[in-house]
Amino acid sequence: MKITVAGVGYVGLSLAVLLAQKHEVTAITTTKKKVERLNQFISPIQDDVIERFFKEAREGKRTLNLHTTTDKEAAYKSAELVIIATPTNYDDEHHFFDTSAVEDAIEWTLKVNPNVMMVIKSTIPVGYTASVREKYGVNNIIFSPEFLRESKALYDNLHPSRIVVGCDDTQKAEAQKFAELLLEGARAEEERAGTEPQNIPILIAHLTEAEAIKLFANTYLAVRVSYFNELDTYAQTKGLDTQMIIDGVCMDPRIGGHYNNPSFGYGGYCLPKDTKQLLANYKDVPQTMIKAVVESNVVRKEFIADQIMAKNPKVVGVYRLTMKSNSDNFRASAIQDVMKHIRSNGIPIIIYEPTLEDGSEFFGNKVVNDLAKFKADSDVILANRFDADVLGDVEEKVYTRDLFRRD
């Protein structure tokens, strides 16, 4: 099958690689530099499994039928299936996802290949797919939410917890076929590795319910992060042992010991925008919890900043802008808002961030990638995730809430 994937972020690229094991995949991006690198099997994002697959492809040890292009017309025209995985950033001023890139992909497809099935994988507002079907007068658009972690996206596509596809009653066969394509991609690696098949549940849902599943799932994760962060805020304020409390709470099997590591707040590409979008979808619906989780994240970051400023540092060092270990992405990372609060109180900040150029500035804060100088010049080092190999020798300077030393 000829499949076109619009977008080469972590969602689009992981899907393109997954499907290129068995099918002819064309990925669309907007920059020639990314095209050149991807066509040499060099990943533009940090993802261990994608990088392993690409290395094996370069060495001739793995076949990936993947081509990347900026030629939208050719890519959409030849497709037997179009997957739309373009970014949908949240607009805080207007309180909605910016879906313009999704609609650009739909319009190009309708212009050159109007009857092909389109599957939206981008995160979108509840009710969006039905609205664009009505807007363009078509019914060949369905939706499938992604449940992927940044830097582990291909792993999650190879080992999915579930596959969900949303459609109307006339498209159940097409929705099932798409679900089986994703399943086939996971099975391909199992066959290669000689491992037992996974039990991967498939849910064919209604369009709008599938959109709601995505936003409610991510908001639940944000609730859980906020809960343990507020537990930690209480424990710090009262001089209690946070880890002991969390260990005791999580011994209850109904609660469990996952997603319980305190942080500076939830951040990254998905949770901040998805919680805000769900709150916007509640415009005419009674609620308190959805609003509270969004507000809780703001309060947590302010609390962390206050904790740092109470130490009266002359210079605050920030160790990595990324949200997670082994990640190269710091979009909407919680630590950036903590930095803003500290800087607004006149305290200088220096940043250790190897993905940025040494001596450059990040929102007015100097990047110092000479590790010894960074450590020496920082009175307090702020680390959302603690790296013992790097920071172990200055642990007394480090402020972190990374109690369990895991993502």
Supply the residues annotated as catalytic.
270
Q: Which residue has the tokens 């039990």?
A: 199
How much of the chain is in helix, strand and coil states, percent to nearest 5? 45, 15, 40
CA distance linking residue 232 with residue 241, whole number of Å? 9
CA angle 246, 249, 254 (to 5 degrees): 130
Which H or E element spans position 282? none
The letter for the amino acid at 405 is R
Answer for the pair 76, 113: CB distance below 8 angstroms, yes or no.
yes
What lies within 8 Å, CB to CB, of 203 at 6+ separation is 162, 163, 164, 165
CA distance linking residue 304 with residue 338, whole number of Å? 7
**C-alpha dihedral (127, 129, 135, 139), degrees to nearest 10:** -130
Residues in the chain: 407
The letter for the amino acid at 374 is F
Answer for the pair 80, 2: CB distance below 8 angstroms, yes or no.
yes
Q: At what angle do helices 289-309 and 207-238 cross, to 10 degrees?
A: 40
- Centre a 10 Å sphere on the Cβ of residue 153 and count the other Cβ atoms it contains: 24
- What's the token pair of residue 58? 């370069």
DSSP result, 226-277? HHHHHHHHHHHHHT--HHHHHHHHHTSTTT-SSS----S---TTTHHHHHHH
Q: Quote the DSSP letter at residue 198.
A: P
Strand partners, 317: 350, 381
* CA neighbours closer than 13 Å in the CB half-sphere of residue 79: 34
